[in-house]
């Protein structure tokens, strides 16, 4: 991880060794970057453990990041994959999370980089597919006193980001280290980069019940593919369960496929023109045309975690085509 100026040159050029993923900590130990030999890359800020970039082997960016977002730890990142925990949206009154800011504190806390691991599997073409897993940790012991005062439970979070050839997996393990049970919600708030929101549909939500947050939180049922003609903010519970893929289709072609593990809900969001214009950290103001959020989570209700128990949820995003 740390460059050694007197490192023997033979270590980086030993004959017969397969190419390895390159992992570096940069920007004053503020960001972790991983690059596969095939060219795929990912960048994660230690602030919020927020994934801010994911590029395919051709160098094409797959995540949308606001040009006006702050990356210095002064404010939650607008774009990439912010991590929502332990509450989604504005906290409800008379609840243990009621004093917390919207979307909780995980996305605005400084995480610790715990290390990397690599794996290799045989691909269908007979070669080897290399992946690298980056682990990050956050616990109640590392929170600032102000945050502890808002939500005083003892907990431990392990967040893993796994970069593969054509895929990205993000997973979170929550452990209750307290003597009391606590409620939690989790959301992987993924901003996908697209070409044109009016040419995009989302498949895999047909028949699902959802809460329409743009229409007074009415309960509705999705009859067909999701299309975008204005502000969209919906919380779905897909009928096929987490293992059934939710696909982002652009111009009739699937560009992303999302499969969930133990995350029953999917939030679909696009602010459209008026709301984008009202957000100070959203830029360019017409950037809503080039992004769509399809977010895996557990947010329609609460997960109650008993002392000593753990909750784990994950998503795997695959690039199509």
Active site residue 27: no
Distance CA 121, CA 128 (A): 5
Q: State the DSSP string of 145-174.
A: HHHHHHS---EEEEEEEEEETTEEEEEEEE
22 known member of a binding site: no
146 known member of a binding site: no
Distance CA 91, CA 170 (A): 24
Q: Which of 40, 103, 189, 247 is catalytic?
A: 189
Do the Cβ atoms of 202 and 247 come closer than 8 Å? Answer: yes
Active site residue 247: no
102 known member of a binding site: yes
Q: Which of 206, 295, 306, 312 is catalytic?
A: 295
Single out the residue of 237, 240, 259 nearest to residue 248, CA to CA: 259
Distance CA 298, CA 286 (A): 30
What's the residue count for the chain? 321
Spatial neighbors of 88 by CB under 8 A, at least 6 apart, are 103, 104, 185, 186, 187, 297, 299
The annotated binding site is made up of 78, 102, 107
The annotated binding site for substrate is made up of 78, 102, 107
Residues designated as active site:
189, 295
């Amino acid at each position: 991880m740390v460059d050694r100026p007197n490192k023997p040159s033979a270590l980086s050029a030993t004959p017969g060794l397969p190419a390895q993923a390159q992992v570096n900590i940069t920007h004053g130990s503020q960001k972790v970057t991983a690059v596969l030999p095939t060219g795929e890359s990912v960048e994660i800020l230690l602030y919020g453990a927020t994934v801010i970039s994911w590029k395919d082997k051709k160098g094409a960016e797959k995540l949308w990041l606001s040009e006006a977002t702050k990356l210095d730890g002064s404010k939650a990142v607008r774009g990439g994959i912010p991590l929502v925990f332990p509450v989604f949206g504005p906290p409800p009154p008379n609840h243990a999370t009621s004093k917390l800011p919207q979307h909780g504190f995980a996305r605005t806390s400084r995480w610790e980089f715990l290390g990397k691991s690599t794996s290799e599997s045989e691909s269908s073409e007979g070669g080897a597919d290399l992946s690298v897993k980056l682990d990050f940790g956050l616990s109640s012991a590392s929170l600032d006193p102000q945050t502890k005062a808002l939500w005083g439970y003892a907990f431990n979070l392990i967040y893993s980001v796994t970069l593969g050839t054509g895929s990205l997996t993000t997973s979170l393990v929550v452990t209750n280290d307290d003597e009391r049970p606590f409620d939690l919600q989790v959301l992987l708030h993924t901003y996908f980069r697209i070409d044109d929101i009016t040419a995009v549909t989302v498949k895999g939500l047909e028949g699902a019940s959802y809460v329409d947050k743009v229409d007074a939180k009415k309960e509705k049922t999705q009859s067909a593919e999701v299309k975008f003609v204005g502000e969209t903010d919906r919380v779905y519970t897909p009928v096929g369960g987490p293992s059934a893929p939710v696909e982002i289709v652009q111009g009739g072609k699937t560009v992303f496929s999302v499969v969930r593990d133990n995350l029953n809900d999917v939030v679909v969001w696009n602010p459209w023109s008026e709301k984008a214009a009202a957000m100070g950290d959203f830029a360019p103001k017409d950037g809503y045309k080039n992004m769509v959020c399809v977010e895996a989570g557990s947010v329609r209700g609460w997960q109650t975690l008993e002392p000593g128990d753990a909750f784990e949820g994950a998503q795997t995003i695959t690039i199509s085509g």
